[in-house]
Amino acid sequence: MSNRQAEIAASLDVVPPFADEAALIHEIERRKAFIKQCLRNAGLKVLVLGISGGVDSLTAGRLAQLTVEELRSETSDNAYRFIAVRLPHGTQHDEQDAQDSLRFIRADEEDTVNISGSVQGLGEQVTHLQQLSEARRDFVTGNIKARIRMVAQFAIANANNGLVIGTDHAAEAVMGFFTKFGDGACDLAPLSGLVKGQVRAIARHLGAPEHLVMKTPTADLEELRPGKPDEEAHGVTYAEIDAFLHGQPVSEQAYASIVRTYDATRHKRELPLIP
């Protein structure tokens, strides 16, 4: 492991590879305990999470549901509950995967907020968008979608005196692969420190359908490139990112790309600049 690999892994609190199934189960229990403690510390009883159809929200959602079920059992307080929210922009091309995720999660409550009207309305009012090329406007609008989705989740959480869950994990954090103040905004991030393979392993252990566990990850924010794979945007694979974070050898190209992207996206992982 290079000094830079070790430094980056430490900064992201990367969880070492699971030694065996017992280690995986221990990590699941540790994360559920974390969610419980977050609710207790806040004095709140409701969790909210947007479900996209990808393995990250599927895993975080199932952990949230299992946690509130345990809290209800431990406290005899039925006020503990989890709200799973669908946040499509118009018609989502992989809506079936999202519905399959919801069936697996079995949330206490499901809600749907279609963000297309909000995104379009804001876009029409921001005249600076009209000055951009079509490709650049599509990219900026993608970030608007991510931020509107988080506005909706916080609105639902506020209305129910709850907390918003985020789905960021180490393999996305190292690449800065989230929208600042969009999907990067949340009250708690129970997948933090895990690499992509570990998120998949947890999902599989919890019994998630294999087509969702191994689904090609996509942020799906761009209209011109619907379903654009994360790995295409990264320029490296999740297998390479995971290996890098676990201190394993990777190609020179992958190493340079990950380090360069980590440095360039540092601002996304830090608090706002102050004097």
230 is in an annotated binding site: no
121 is in an annotated binding site: no
Q: How far is CA 235 from the centre of its chain?
A: 20
SS3 of residue 81 by DSSP: strand
Contact 170/193 with Cβ under 8 angstroms? yes
8 is in an annotated binding site: no
180 is in an annotated binding site: yes
Residue with tokens 């969880």: 15
- 56 catalytic? Reply is yes
Phi-psi region of 13 (alpha: psi -120 to 50; beta: other; left: phi over 0): left
Contact 231/207 with Cβ under 8 angstroms? no
123 is in an annotated binding site: no
54 is in an annotated binding site: yes
228 is in an annotated binding site: no
53 is in an annotated binding site: yes
- 77 catalytic? Reply is no
Alpha-carbon span 168 to 184, nearest angstrom: 7
Catalytic site residue from 27, 56, 240, 242: 56
Catalytic site residue from 27, 172, 230, 240: 172
Q: What angle do CA 257, 51, 237 make, to 5 degrees?
A: 20
172 is in an annotated binding site: yes
Contact 185/196 with Cβ under 8 angstroms? no
Output the known binding site. 50-57, 147, 167, 172, 180, 187, 196, 218, 267-268
Binding annotation for deamido-NAD(+): 147, 180, 187, 267-268
Could you list the residues known to form a binding site for Mg(2+), using ranges: 56, 172
Which amino acids are annotated catalytic?
A: 56, 172
Binding residues for ATP: 50-57, 167, 196, 218
